[in-house]
Structure 1
Amino acid sequence: MGFARNFASLAVGCALWVASCATGLAAKDKDAVATASGLPVPRYVSLKSDHVNVRAGPTKDQDVTWIYTRSGLPVEITAEFENWRRVRDSEGAEGWVYHSLLSGRRTAVVTMKNKDDLAPVRDRADPSSAISARLQAGVVATVRRCNEGWCRITGNGFDGWIEQQRLWGVYADEKVN
């Protein structure tokens, strides 16, 4: 009985993966695909908890492949199946998470142009504005808003504007209000 259920879960997971790959390619277009939740895919969300199980497929019968331990980490939803969301993180890892462990709160991870680079946070959305902080790669920030290539971010000890291209967790030229 257990083998049949696991085999059925694996078959469902594989079928969903194939279908979601096709929709994932189409969803990269400007007009994202609406899903069971009524929300577009792909889209960015964040982790609600500091303990989030990531599973191999969209059921509790699937193995936990790893556990996120950082609340607020941004992830991209790439597919949905009932109450399950397939997510991808900033390192490209993918797996299935139960929907209630995700939040619509927008966060982003600071990325770098060069290995030893620090990302400047400015007082205003202007490259000539004063620098109020410099952030390392991997810093997670709350995204307050984005417009015209700049995002206002806040976090532990900083509040200011950063070039949108320096963040993973917002799409290029996405407007966030």
Structure 2
Amino acid sequence: MLRRLVTAAAVLAGLHALPAQALEFRSVKETGVALYEAPALSAKKLFLVSRYYPVEVLSSQKEWARVRDATGGIAWIPQAALSGQRWLLVTADQAVVRATASADGQPVFSVARDGVLQWQEAPKDGWVKVKHRDGSSGFARITDLWGL
């Protein structure tokens, strides 16, 4: 009995030492891609998403990915429809992109809710470097974005 308890404790200690799994975010490659209720083209289409729309990949099954969107909705999308390029969704009424990673930084441009920005660098101190489709770049508050 004692041996089982020691073994169980060792297993639990080993599990505790495992690193947390990082979230995987991907973006949709093309405009008008359907998200499905199940991993099959014959399944019910739930809605269409636009190019660059970010999703969190929860799991993969053959040619399909189970994803979550910014609203928390879960659906299936063909793996081939996902890009390795990372885009972020603006969830604030407006995200002000600044020249420096500071609230005092000079505003460069702003993007309204549901707009997208390309992720450029890992977030630091509450800010993330982003790029607009027109090529403009700067820093946005991570609290204004989804997909990090």
- Name 1:73's counterpart in structure 2: 53
Say which of 122, 128, 141 aligns to 1:163: 141
- Alignment correspondent of 1:90: 70
Shift of the 54–147 alpha-carbon distance from structure 1 to 2, 3 Å rule, reads closer
Distance 1:82 1:121 in 2: 39
Once residues 89 and 19 of structure 2 are traced to their aligned partners in structure 1, the CA distance between those partners, rounded to angstroms, is 23
User: Distance in 1 between the 2:19 and 2:130 partners?
Assistant: 24
TM-score norm. by structure 1 comes to 0.66
1:103 aligns with 2:83: yes
**Aligned mates of 1:45, 1:134 — CA distance in 2:** 23
Name structure 1 gaps, 5 residues minimum. Answer: 1-28, 33-39, 171-177
Q: Distance in 2 between matches of 1:145 and 1:130?
A: 19
Distance 1:118 1:51 in 2: 25
Q: 1:30 to 1:71 in 2, by over 3 A?
A: farther
Aligned to 1:43: 24
Q: 1:80 and 1:47 mapped to 2: Cα distance?
A: 15
Return the letter of the residue paired with 1:54: L
Which of 1 and 2 has greater Rg?
2
Secondary structure at the counterpart of residue 85 of structure 1: strand
Question: Offset of 1:156 from its aligned partner?
Answer: 3.9
Q: Give the TM-score, by structure 2 length.
A: 0.77
Structure 2, unaligned runs of 5 or more: 1-17
Match of 1:59 among 16, 29, 40: 40
Retained in 1: the 8 A contact 2:26–2:83?
Answer: yes
Partner of 1:21: none
Query: In the alignment, does 2:134 pair up with 1:154?
Result: no
Amino acid at match of 2:72: G
**Is the CA contact (8 Å cut-off) linking 1:122 and 1:130 kept in structure 2?**
yes
- Quote the sequence identity (%): 25
Two-structure CA RMSD over aligned residues (Å): 2.0
Aligned partners of 1:72, 1:93: CA distance in 2, in Å? 17
